[in-house]
Amino acid sequence: MSLTFDILLLLLLIVTALAVAWTKDLLAAAIIFSSYSLMMCLLWQHRGAPDVAMTEAAVGAGITTVLFLVAIGRTTRREK
């Protein structure tokens, strides 16, 4: 059960990372990146690192995403 969960999580991480690469809409890419961070946070919680998981949730998925959103708002949403 645990191993299945792990493999699933790792595969999902790779899929979301590829999705960030393929998405042309920067706003969508930033949100997908946020979900990637949340999944990473789940993985770390599972690996016995609650401190890091908490930081990643607050900083990686929270603050970093907000900063990206501000930057996209100030510049452009479309990738050419």
Partner 1 sequence: MLEALWNNVDYVASVVLFCIGLYIIIAKNNLIKKFLGLNIMETAVFAFIIALGVVDDGSPPIMGEGASGPFASPIPHALVLTGIVVAVSTTALALSLIIRIYRQCGTIEADELREME
Partner 2 sequence: MKKALVAALLIIISIPMLIAVAAMPPHGDADSPVHTHVSARYIEHGEEEAGAENLVTGVLLNYRGLDTAGEVIVIFTALMAAFAVLITHPGRGEESGPTTAALDPEPGTEPESDSKAPPPISPVVSFMVRLLTPFTTLFAIYVILNGHVTPGGGFQGGAILGGMFIALTIVLGEDKVRTLLPRRAAPWMQGAAVFAFVAIGVIGAATTGYFLGYPTDASLHLVRELMMVVIEIGIGLGGAAIFATIFLQMEAE
* Residue in the structure block whose two tokens are 């946020």: 34
Of the candidates 52, 10, 59, the residue with the CA atom closest to the CA atom of residue 34: 59
Q: Which of 1, 3, 51, 79 binds partner 2 (CB under 8 A)?
A: 51
Please tell me the distance from the alpha carbon of residue 32 to that of residue 28, in angstroms, as a whole number: 6
Residue 4 contacts partner 2 per CB under 8 A: no
- Binding residues with partner 1: total (CB under 8 A): 40
CB of residue 13 to partner 2, shortest distance in Å: 16
User: What is the binding site for partner 2 (CB under 8 A)?
Assistant: 50-55, 58-59, 62-63, 66-67, 70-71, 73-77
